[in-house]
Structure 1
Amino acid sequence: MRTDLFALRHIGIREEDLPQMLRTIRVNSVDQLISETIPDDIRLAKPLALDTPLSEHEYLSHIQVLSEKNKVFKSYIGLGYHESITPSVIKRNILENAGWYTAYTPYQAEIAQGRLEALLNFQTVIAELTGMELANASLLDESTAAAEAMTMLFDVRSRDQKKNNVLKFFVSEEILPQTLSLLKTRSTPLDIELIVGNHESFEFGDDYFGALLQYPGKHGQVHDYASFVAKAVEKNIKVAVAADILSLALLTPPGEFGADVVVGTTQRFGIPLGYGGPHAAFFATKEEYKRSIPGRIIGVTKDTDGKPALRMALQTREQHIKRDKATSNICTAQVLLAVMAGMYAVYHGPKGLKYIANKVHSTAVTLADSLEKLGLYQTNTSYFDTISIKADSSKVRPIAEKYEVNFLYVDADTISIALNEATSIKDLQLIVNIFAEAIGKEAITINGLLSQSLLENKLVRTSTFLENSVFNSYHSETELMRYIKKLERKDLALNHSMISLGSCTMKLNAASEMLPLSMARWGNIHPFVPVEQAEGYQIILKELERDLNIITGFAGTSLQPNSGAQGEFAGLMVIRAYHESRGEGHRNICLIPASAHGTNPASAVMAGMKVVVTKTDENGNIDVADLAEKAELHKDNLSALMVTYPSTHGVFESSIKEITKLIHDNGGQVYMDGANMNAQVGLTNPATIGADVCHLNLHKTFAIPHGGGGPGVGPICVAEQLVPFLPGNPVIKTGGDKAITAISAAPWGSSLVCLISYGYIKMLGENGLTQSTKTAILNANYIKNKLSGKFDVLYTGERGRAAHEMIIDCRPFKENGIEVTDIAKRLMDYGFHAPTVSFPVAGTLMIEPTESESLAELDRFCSAMLSIREEIDAASAEDNNNALKNAPHTLEMVTNDKWEFPYTRQQAAFPLPYILENKFWPSVRRVDDTYGDRNLICTCAPIEAYAEA
């Protein structure tokens, strides 16, 4: 046994397991199974040309050496990114804890109450600091959130504004440059006209629907926006404000001066810089926009016993349901980072946050005072943490870099300095020494922080915040550690059992892949440092791009998109730019099969395309005749086909090359959704099937953890003709020669977690990656055959094989009164998270076991499903009092003195022997979704509720 071989640790199936599995599947070898699953004409002719795999020990040494190539300067660049201090209790118990980072999106609320509570805390923090009524459970980054605010305000325009085709959106010149770039990207396909200007001199016409302000401004000035907002309100123009979350502990919240939307990032609430991400953005608004707000919302409801429970609220507004009618394609949140940021607020409480904010402000005031005593001029009249100094940049910069310090050099004689929670008096002294040396003067000694405020009185916050019990109870490490553990115990994650979600690939997130995330030389680098300071990162990002090119067969990769849906949008925008470059900007028709993921049509509409849905045949495959007819019909305006491969139904369609040729013959490009790439790596690839661009879910196929619903990373890989159009960044050059504007805020998106996928590829190598794909297909077909005769698989390939996932049909069980939801909830009693429910077909379960699971775990899952099938057979449509309808069963329910059910407590909680060894208890009974939507509560209970209790 090669104990130094990472593939041995990543892949759950052992060599000795194969005979039994192959007998069950009825094949002689794994290779026979693969040949019966994947069409011969798309199989790769030769192995992937990847590096020799490293052992875990070699990889950790390698990553440490690379980290030392990064120069970790003290960065005071600002522009929305600030060094922060991650409390060790949060770092150890959440960021480094598989119980938190391996959980899935909380669609099954009964086994996700811990995560949901942590997210409700986050929403409360955002709503109260911003002064708004409603907040979502995080977005991707500040710039994306600002773009979502613009598009939401566009969607909620008044009837007259829509009738008169009002398209103008005012953007303050104080906005962050990366946000302006992303606004350009998002506004262009929707024909929104951006007007950038000075908010103080600007006068609204009748042709504006909205505006965006920065608070404080990009170089630190805190403006009084009250009169601007009042003028906007007079003309029924909605206002969004991009705000610094820490500053709102001291500044008047935007909600109090009339903002309609407040967005920003929570990065400075204890989240590492990570060369740009991942960081949880926030989005807060008025309750009247609850049906339009993008992203996920956590709401309070009740369970079957009438007890409080949490769940994801108002899901009907999401792109999964609304598809091409959706106003946003946002699918991934940044849950893990939102949980950390929320816990940062829990740990410090309102008094702690005020202390940190006041200290940061005092640090800025002290520095400004010291520099002014040197004879330098500071231009900001009111500021929170960022001062603007008039000095010769050409003289200051080389001295600053000599002392390993970065400032923001605005122009030849203006330097912006953004201070932060981690800035010490020693750091301040070094900054003063740098400027003194640059102007040839004696440095002034700083002995302590000044306590005066440089905020105008009318801008100072007077309202209270975070008075709820949860923010005033856990301020010692012992208390917070226990609170985090209490929440963790309510959640079923991969550290408990297999999560067999189809289309989501919940595979092992190996410890060796995760460890570098905690290393300071990866975590403490600002995304806008000169690239030569980030040599370690540059090596890794370029290598990862190269490896993804090899795996996909394409010529270029952009790592910038920081979610799968954002990757979809990026790919379509690149196709759009390609057509425009050829004088064919009129091409705007996007063909999408009926079975496609809901983000596909939503992304196409965002990219300015018109969606034409194509049929699927009785076997669940793309109806080629219908596709050909529609491609021919729209050939003059055909832009793209969006296709998932293998299909969302878990089938390698043999007609795929015919399909892609049809599109090319009619002038279009082929976008392949990479959701199911776990069935392709090493065996086939997007280039071979004839695609032109694909996005890859690094949080699926390439081992970045789902983190309870995020971080997600969705890079795009493109064919040669599309490389020039890969997205750029306004601060650090990225992308192609004809780069489209930004897709996300940071140049390389969520760079920190790209280390995980880099490690995954480097430790598996060509053989390990290919073996992983084969094993994923093996495991899926093993489960399929084990369940055969008891559960019908809805679609299979031409030779009866599934790809890496399959759909089982639960609709016939309605005869017994059993719905697919009952099976999902009953699986919780067996210690399993349900597979994907009712997607892509209502009333079905989509199962994907991944390559990481052992044969023993596959057998446990199959035993659970077969046992549930016996319970279904015993159920009656006339009697709902059975274990399936009453599932899940909580500890409180089973230990209650009163038991009035026609089955035993053992049948309820321990239906199979293996459960006795490792019982997971759902913390609430089945939640009431309808009640939660009708009575929307999305923040923690007010302090009065605790007093009454």
Structure 2
Amino acid sequence: MTINQSGWRPEAPLANGAGEQPTFTGNRALMLEEPLLFEIGATDRTGVDFDAAPHATNRLCGLERGKIGLPGLSEPETVRHYTRLSRQNYAIDLGVFPLGSCTMKHNPRLNERMARLPGFADIHPLQPVSTVQGALALIHLVGEWLCKLTGMPAVAMSPKAGAHGELCGLLAIRAALEARGDARQVILVPESAHGTNPATAAFCGYAVENIPATAEGRVNLDALKARLGPDVAGVMITNPNTCGLFERDMIAISEAVHAAGGLVYCDGANFNAIVGRVRPGDLGIDAMHINLHKTFSTPHGGGGPGAGPVVFSAALAPFAPLPFVEQTSEGSFRLVEEETAEDHHAQAFGRMVAFHGQMGMFTRAASYMLSHGADGLRQVSGDAVLNANYVLRSLEDVLDAPFAGAGPCMHEALFSDHGMAQGFTTLDIAKGLIDEGFHPMTVYFPLVVHGAMLVEPTETESKAGLDQFIGALRSVAERGRAGDETLKSAPHFSPRRRLDETAAARSPILAQRYLADQDD
């Protein structure tokens, strides 16, 4: 690509696919070939007019401000650039988002409107408590719902996301063990757990040991019991697990861990599959985070915003972190921010954050809970499980389903690339699905299945929409089984062809200037 005074041009006419007539621009009708901002504009010009400014210096160190090397663009150029890029994005508003373990479901616009109401959207964390009583009441309401849905007596609303919630739960476990003079060193993590679980345990300073799975993809209870001992602080378990299966031995697991003096942490990222049907507190769980941005409507993805409240058993409730919202005997609400010896929170392990900063997440979750009600939330999980099993049984004849014999799956269906023609892999299936107009499913996860493909359709997909997705995935899988060589070069119709992902991971080009250096 080159830049000249007349703007960006491709160095040569680009072909858009095998056998297609190339175009001068590289565009394919309304699928526009969009360059980088640095290739559209130039650093020696600007898209707006400024009056001559006095010579400025940096007040902090007296150094003159240098050029920052950003391209100058007019308003139309800027607007068109980002609008064109937005048309190359896949989104839940365009079609099914089949990522497994991510619960990428439609988020009702009603909830978005509620989150933008004055009093929720424009408050400040340092406002006097008397001026934010409505916001505190809403946070308290969401916490009450979470306690009722999980059967747990206490909740910490401050964690910002799932992994942050995991950290909160483990810090509470560590505080409880230290309070009884029993500082243990090991956390057990089944191989069917989410990858953040062992990372969080290691971050907390624990040694992490793996517990194997059975042939049907669930925790090996005998192996777990054999490893329990006085050095084991607890177990981190994902239920439903990443194989899309409910851990049937959960009560037995909890009883064994408690008998050995440990505590049980549950990863609640998959709560969407059991909400309204199973109360984790009844399973013997001591702490569990809940992703509001998965189960209760907040838009998910893009690195935030998120919210990962943690519910606690009676054993861990005294160690829950500050701050938290508490209702007074007069009916008003206060924000508890300090430990005091006479209060029930005197053993709080400390703070996770300075403030409750995710008000939009709480508001959306409250809107979702209240609009569905208890019966509606029960239907949410039922429909999610029904859709996943429909996908599993509709494709198990053309895609290997390693745990199909273990009974119905929960919210996600797991497949592998076993049975594809020689040389064809999960990556080929995923890239072929892009040509069919769908975002690929989660690939190569969980690690316990070679060539894994994890599909989570969620409850918000209709049968007609699922049938279209199933037909597309079936078509691509059949091509892979037949050894269709065109699948090896897919996608053919996307804005970019298949990248060298190994080279991209090992030698990333993170800024435009590196491209310029290579051109030189």
Structure 1 partner of 2:414: 807
**SS of alignment partner, residue 687 of structure 1:** helix
Select 2:385's aligned residue among 777, 789, 802: 777
Structure 2 partner of 1:607: 204
Structure 2 partner of 1:684: 278
Counterparts of 1:813-828 in structure 2, within 5 Å, are 813=420, 815-828=421-434
The code of the aligned residue for 2:409 comes to A
Query: How far apart are the structure 2 equivalents of 1:716 and 1:797?
Result: 34
Counterparts of 1:145-224 in structure 2, within 5 Å, are none
Structure 2 partner of 1:498: 96
**SS of alignment partner, residue 397 of structure 2:** coil
Query: How far apart are the structure 2 equivalents of 1:457 and 1:609?
Result: 46
Structure 1 partner of 2:481: 873
Provide, for residues 752-784 of structure 1, a one-character-per-residue CA deviation record: whole Å limited to 9, x for no partner.
Answer: 222111111111111110001000011111111
**SS of alignment partner, residue 769 of structure 1:** helix
Structure 2 partner of 1:938: 510
Cα 1:456–1:682 shift into 2, 3 Å: closer
Does residue 627 of structure 1 match 2:224? yes
Structure 2 partner of 1:694: 288
Structure 2 partner of 1:573: 171
Cα 1:554–1:944 shift into 2, 3 Å: same
Query: How far apart are the structure 2 equivalents of 1:638 and 1:860?
Result: 48
Contact 2:417 2:425 in 1 (8 A): yes
Contact 1:679 1:804 in 2 (8 A): yes
Does residue 793 of structure 1 match 2:401? yes
Query: How far apart are the structure 1 equivalents of 2:84 and 2:350?
Result: 44
Q: CA deviation at 1:465?
A: 5.1
Structure 2 partner of 1:587: 184
Cα 1:716–1:461 shift into 2, 3 Å: farther
Query: How far apart are the structure 2 equivalents of 1:603 and 1:654?
Result: 25
Select 1:929's aligned residue among 489, 501, 507: 501
Select 1:884's aligned residue among 464, 472, 487: 487
Provide, for residues 644-687 of structure 1, a one-character-per-residue CA deviation record: whole Å limited to 9, x for no partner.
Answer: 11121111122111111000000011000001111110110211
The code of the aligned residue for 1:546 comes to E
Structure with larger Rg: 1
Q: CA deviation at 1:708?
A: 2.8
Query: How far apart are the structure 1 equivalents of 2:60 and 2:258?
Result: 61
Cα 1:351–1:690 shift into 2, 3 Å: farther
Q: CA deviation at 1:825?
A: 0.6
Select 1:473's aligned residue among 35, 60, 73: 73
Select 2:349's aligned residue among 723, 733, 740: 740
Cα 1:825–1:531 shift into 2, 3 Å: same
**SS of alignment partner, residue 488 of structure 2:** helix
Contact 2:398 2:478 in 1 (8 A): no
Counterparts of 1:725-764 in structure 2, within 5 Å, are 725-729=319-323, 733-734=336-337, 736-744=345-353, 746-764=354-372
Cα 1:797–1:542 shift into 2, 3 Å: farther
Select 1:534's aligned residue among 123, 127, 132: 132
Which moved further from structure 2: 610-619 or 664-673? 610-619
Structure 2 partner of 1:849: 457
Structure 1 partner of 2:157: 559
Does residue 835 of structure 1 match 2:429? no
The code of the aligned residue for 2:298 comes to I
Contact 1:549 1:555 in 2 (8 A): yes
Provide, for residues 38-95 of structure 1, a one-character-per-residue CA deviation record: whole Å limited to 9, x for no partner.
Answer: xxxxxxxxxxxxxxxxxxxxxxxxxxxxxxxxxxxxxxxxxxxxxxxxxxxxxxxxxx
Cα 1:615–1:467 shift into 2, 3 Å: same
Q: CA deviation at 1:555?
A: 0.9
Contact 1:304 1:928 in 2 (8 A): no
The code of the aligned residue for 1:578 comes to A
Cα 1:566–1:513 shift into 2, 3 Å: same
**SS of alignment partner, residue 348 of structure 2:** coil
Q: CA deviation at 1:520?
A: 4.4
Counterparts of 1:901-916 in structure 2, within 5 Å, are none
Contact 1:727 1:742 in 2 (8 A): yes
Aligned length: 461
Structure 1 partner of 2:317: 723
Structure 1 partner of 2:233: 639
Q: CA deviation at 1:695?
A: 0.5
Does residue 653 of structure 1 match 2:262? no
Query: How far apart are the structure 1 equivalents of 2:58 and 2:395?
Result: 69
More helix by share: 1
Does residue 510 of structure 1 match 2:108? yes
Select 1:858's aligned residue among 466, 475, 482: 466
In structure 1, stretches of 5+ residues that fail to align are: 1-302, 306-341, 359-450, 877-881, 891-921
Contact 1:468 1:940 in 2 (8 A): no
Query: How far apart are the structure 2 equivalents of 1:658 and 1:718?
Result: 19
Query: How far apart are the structure 1 equivalents of 2:337 and 2:399?
Result: 50
**SS of alignment partner, residue 120 of structure 2:** helix
Contact 2:417 2:450 in 1 (8 A): no
Structure 1 partner of 2:374: 766
Query: How far apart are the structure 2 equivalents of 1:452 and 1:559?
Result: 49
Structure 1 partner of 2:214: 617
Q: CA deviation at 1:797?
A: 7.0
Does residue 524 of structure 1 match 2:122? yes
Q: CA deviation at 1:819?
A: 0.5
The code of the aligned residue for 2:168 comes to A
Query: How far apart are the structure 1 equivalents of 2:270 and 2:430?
Result: 22
Cα 1:724–1:351 shift into 2, 3 Å: farther
Cα 1:671–1:304 shift into 2, 3 Å: farther
TM-score in terms of structure 1 length: 0.46
Provide, for residues 140-166 of structure 1, a one-character-per-residue CA deviation record: whole Å limited to 9, x for no partner.
Answer: xxxxxxxxxxxxxxxxxxxxxxxxxxx
The code of the aligned residue for 2:348 comes to A
Counterparts of 1:23-42 in structure 2, within 5 Å, are none
Does residue 712 of structure 1 match 2:310? no
Contact 1:728 1:747 in 2 (8 A): no
Contact 1:589 1:612 in 2 (8 A): yes
In structure 2, stretches of 5+ residues that fail to align are: 1-15, 19-36, 325-334, 339-344
Query: How far apart are the structure 2 equivalents of 1:712 and 1:461?
Result: 40
**SS of alignment partner, residue 84 of structure 2:** helix
